[in-house]
Amino acid sequence: MIPVCQSRFLVLAWLLAGLTGSLYAAEPDISKWPCRFCEFPSGTELDVDAGLIWVSDDSAKFGTFTGLDEEGAYLDAHVALRYWGEDGNRWQLLGRNLGLESREISVTGGQQGIYELNAFYSQIPRSLFVTTMTPFLGVGSASLSLPDNWAHAGSTQDMTALDTSLQPLKVGYDREILGVSAKYLPWQKLELTAEYRHDEKDGNRIDSGSMLTVVAQFVQPLDYTTDRLELAAGYFADAWNLQLGYYGSVFNNRVDRLRWETPFNPSPGADVGQLDVAPDNSFHQFSLSAGYRFARHTRLTGRLAIGNGKQDQTFLPFTVNSLLAGQPLPQADLDGEVDTTHINLRLRSTPVRRMGLTAEYRKNKRDNKTSRNLYDYVITDTLPGETVSNRPYSFDRDSYRLSADYRLMRRTRLSVGWNRDDVERSFQERRTTETDKFWARATVGFASTISGWVEFSAEERDGSEFIDLAQSGSEQNPLMRKYHLADRDRDVIEGQLTVQPVAAWDISVSAVVAKDEYKNTLIGLTESDYISATLDTSVRIGPVSVYGAYTREEIESKQNGSQQFLVPDWSSDVKDEFDSLVLGFKWPEIFSRIDLSLDYTYVKSSGDIDMNVSGARSAFPRLETRLNSLQLFLDYRIRGNTTVRAGYWYEDYDSSDWALDGVSPATVPHLLSLGANACNYKVSTVLLSLKHAW
């Protein structure tokens, strides 16, 4: 029985707690908050920025993604149109680079809290080469022929009609994307979304076709469309949520083959070759995502996604060589089918205030259900091959993650974890691999001026015995260990430190050091090292912000081969280096009218390959690129809503690439190339525009 005094105590305590608690939790009477100073916008606003861009020179690389690939003047405009309705309607139209081939425009709006609509259109120009040349006629079509006077020969140097037949050719393509999406909230916790996206890729890319030991480069027309639809319905309660989703993607290639007339002396019947192109395909996936909060600090989330991919493009014949044609195909099309399964289960709990525990399971399975058949293939439309069977590739990856973290101080946390990946693959030299990774991480933050993190991980991969998979005629050196299957030890240490010596100055240093060792590999990749370091700083001096960043990266690798098809008798040391320096400042409100900004970028990359063949060392010429880029912009406000912008952008890009340099169409006896060169350009761009707001 509770003593009287104690019962009074409890009642009073409850009353006090209830009274003060309810007072504290009570919502204010916002009808007494008129918000007189709140400047809620209404009506329409329009910003237009229109002007002229002048480009000094042609350049494929400068023009790629920007649309400024040709010398001359371009009209350009940016637009922003905003509308605020009284009833919560809100719409925004944004247009950018409307005069260029990199234009994009979007419209977003709706009634806030009820529905939202979005539509966008974007163009991405990809200019690859502008100085290439080809003797082929019918560029842009699926059938390439040679001029009537073409003189076939055994090597390019003997193609006497080549020089007079070469025509200039631009290589590149445009991607156009049209998207619409909608979100609807019938009531607060239910959200319905739909998104549709249509991609078109139109243009050409470098392609090539071989006839036994000779090969010709040409361009393949690209006329791709991809349609993607995503639907989702989600219910989000306080303690749980559930989402159902659909993802569908359909790819269509309006080109179904590519024929070319061989410029070399043809083998009997092999004056024309035929290549396959990317087949139409589709993929559909249904997903169920859910989350449940057992208690305030324990959450279970999961996702199950079941997908199905199909490809049933009608097969081309084995060959277009009439002397070898006639072999029946085992079926009219592949009737290819792949089932995918993705699972993610994740339990996150903070059993005590500072400690968190996470357990996770993931599955990534590709079950290739395509049937196996025998194919009496023809070697490059020239010779009968052997009978081989296709190998529908499947894999099944199970991943496990366990981690624990402990928050020592407000912004300091220690974390440790173990990752495990078990992969089973079909038709591979190694059926299973197992990878274990242990990691530890410390995230620190002292006051508000020092923060950073450091992480160390050690990973080990091994697996089942290697087996010989070779089909007839393609025997692999039994000592080869492919790098995605081989035993591997990987150690990585990385971190970042950010310091703020004074309020207006930030310095940040970050670095990564990684080492891969393929300890049981004799042929193949044997080791790889990666180092990257960055120094980044920004300082504010009065109204001026100045910033700079320098990054250096080195990637080294060693690999062995065997030309005797026995033990290693050659090796290579490859070293890629990369340096980038960015400097700039922004100076706003000079004389209350002028904004000035400058960005300078210097980038250098290099690649060195040293070969050691039976003790004789030799090196490839250095692969190199250098970029100097300077951008200067000045905005001058004529009036409060009118601004003139002047800009200057200079880029100087030099590159050396032994795979392209000096390779004209006739340089390589058995390769008729397009004569693509490594990119080099110096381009100056001047911008003058007027911006006005209504």
Partner 1 sequence: MRRNKFAKGFSWPLYLFVLGVLLVNAPPLLAADEDGNQAGFSRKGADTCISCHDEEAILSIFRTPHGHPVDANAPFAHEQCESCHLAGGAHSVRRVRRGQERPPIGNFGAQAVTPVAGQNEICLGCHEADVDPAWHGSTHDLEFVSCAQCHQVHAPQDRVLLLYEQADVCYTCHQKQRAASFKPSIHPVRQGKMSCSSCHNPHQSATDNLLARDTVNQLCYDCHAEKRGPFLWEHAPVPEDCTLCHDAHGSNHPALLTRRPPLLCQQCHSQAGHPRIPFTGQSLPGNSPSPFVLGGSCMNCHSRIHGSNHPSGVNLSR
Which of the residues 438 through 477 are near partner 1 (CB under 8 A)? 443, 445, 448, 451, 453, 470-471, 474-477
Closest CA to 210 of 282, 260, 158: 260
Residue 691 binds partner 1, judged by CB under 8 A: no
- DSSP notation for 497-513: EEEEEETTEEEEEEEEE
The tokens of 492 are what? 């990585």
- Select the residue interacting with partner 1 from 391, 490, 540, 637 (CB under 8 A): 391
Q: Is 487 helix (H, G, I), strand (E, B) or coil?
A: coil
Region from 8-16, 137-145, 158-166, 589-597 binding partner 1, contact rule CB under 8 A: 8-16
Shortest CB 323 distance to partner 1, Å: 14
Helix (H) / strand (E) element for 536: namely strand 524-541
- Select the residue interacting with partner 1 from 132, 134, 204, 311 (CB under 8 A): 311
Between CA 264 and CA 208 the distance in angstroms is 14
Distances in whole angstroms, Cα of residue 604 to Cα of each of 5, 599, 630, 683: 82, 17, 15, 18
Shortest CB 594 distance to partner 1, Å: 19
Residue 383 CB contacts under 8 Å (≥ 6 apart), including other chains: 212, 267, 324
Please state the length of the chain: 694
Between CA 636 and CA 693 the distance in angstroms is 14
Cβ distance to partner 1 smaller for residue 113 or 148: 113
Between CA 41 and CA 85 the distance in angstroms is 9
Burial degree of 184 (CB within 10 A; 0-12, 13-18, 19+): middle
Closest CA to 397 of 438, 371, 428: 428
Cβ distance to partner 1 smaller for residue 51 or 584: 584
Burial degree of 31 (CB within 10 A; 0-12, 13-18, 19+): exposed
Cβ distance to partner 1 smaller for residue 204 or 253: 253
Residue 308 binds partner 1, judged by CB under 8 A: no
- Select the residue interacting with partner 1 from 127, 267, 380, 689 (CB under 8 A): 380
Between CA 197 and CA 250 the distance in angstroms is 11
Residue 390 binds partner 1, judged by CB under 8 A: yes
Could you give the string, one character per residue 158-197, with x where binding to partner 1 holds by CB under 8 A and - elsewhere? -----------------x------------xx-x------
Residue 400 binds partner 1, judged by CB under 8 A: no
Cβ distance to partner 1 smaller for residue 1 or 25: 25
Helix (H) / strand (E) element for 298: namely strand 298-311
Residue 395 binds partner 1, judged by CB under 8 A: yes
Cβ distance to partner 1 smaller for residue 148 or 627: 627
Place of tokens 């009218």: 593
Partners of 537 in the β-ladder: 507, 548
Between CA 517 and CA 558 the distance in angstroms is 10
Region from 145-153, 200-208, 259-267, 640-648 binding partner 1, contact rule CB under 8 A: 200-208
Residue 210 binds partner 1, judged by CB under 8 A: yes
Residue 417 binds partner 1, judged by CB under 8 A: no
Region from 131-139, 459-467, 602-610, 643-651 binding partner 1, contact rule CB under 8 A: 602-610
Q: Which of residues 280-299 bind partner 1 (CB under 8 A)?
A: 281, 283, 289, 291, 299
Q: Which of residues 10-29 bind partner 1 (CB under 8 A)?
A: 12-13, 16-17, 20-21, 23-29
Region from 141-149, 164-172, 586-594, 617-625 binding partner 1, contact rule CB under 8 A: 617-625
- Select the residue interacting with partner 1 from 91, 121, 251, 361 (CB under 8 A): 251
Residue 155 binds partner 1, judged by CB under 8 A: no
Could you give the string, one character per residue 656-675, with x where binding to partner 1 holds by CB under 8 A and - elsewhere? --xxxxxx---xxxxx-x--
Residue 603 binds partner 1, judged by CB under 8 A: yes
Shortest CB 357 distance to partner 1, Å: 9
Cβ distance to partner 1 smaller for residue 76 or 199: 199
Residue 41 binds partner 1, judged by CB under 8 A: yes
Residue 643 binds partner 1, judged by CB under 8 A: no
Residue 54 binds partner 1, judged by CB under 8 A: no
Cβ distance to partner 1 smaller for residue 80 or 644: 80
Strand 258-261 and strand 272-275: pairing?
Answer: antiparallel
Cβ distance to partner 1 smaller for residue 491 or 494: 494
Residue 361 binds partner 1, judged by CB under 8 A: no
Residue 307 identity (one-letter amino acid): G
Shortest CB 269 distance to partner 1, Å: 14
Q: How many residues bind partner 1 (CB under 8 A)?
A: 192
Residue 148 identity (one-letter amino acid): D
**Are the C-beta atoms of residues 577 and 609 closer than 8 Å to each other?**
no
- The three-state DSSP-derived secondary structure of 221-286 is EEEEEEEEEEEEEEEECCCEEEEEEEEEEEEEECCCCEEEECCECCCCCCCEEEECCCCCEEEEEE
Q: Which of residues 502-531 bind partner 1 (CB under 8 A)?
A: 508, 510, 512, 523-525
Between CA 527 and CA 521 the distance in angstroms is 9
Residue 231 identity (one-letter amino acid): L
Cβ distance to partner 1 smaller for residue 150 or 318: 318
The tokens of 199 are what? 């991609």
Residue 364 binds partner 1, judged by CB under 8 A: yes
Shortest CB 562 distance to partner 1, Å: 6
Cβ distance to partner 1 smaller for residue 300 or 690: 300
Between CA 452 and CA 441 the distance in angstroms is 11
Cβ distance to partner 1 smaller for residue 145 or 327: 327
Query: CA angle, corner 341, sides to 336 and 345, nearest 5?
Result: 170
Between CA 117 and CA 91 the distance in angstroms is 9
Shortest CB 148 distance to partner 1, Å: 27
Cβ distance to partner 1 smaller for residue 59 or 380: 380
Closest CA to 85 of 66, 69, 109: 109
Closest CA to 277 of 200, 204, 374, 169: 204
The tokens of 664 are what? 């004209």
Residue 1 binds partner 1, judged by CB under 8 A: no
> What does residue 480 show for φ and ψ, rounded to 5 degrees?
-65, 130
Q: Which of residues 84-143 bind partner 1 (CB under 8 A)?
A: 86-88, 90, 96, 102, 104, 112-113, 122, 124
Residue 589 binds partner 1, judged by CB under 8 A: no
Shortest CB 593 distance to partner 1, Å: 17
- Select the residue interacting with partner 1 from 361, 483, 600, 648 (CB under 8 A): 483
- Select the residue interacting with partner 1 from 152, 254, 431, 482 (CB under 8 A): 482
Between CA 353 and CA 409 the distance in angstroms is 12
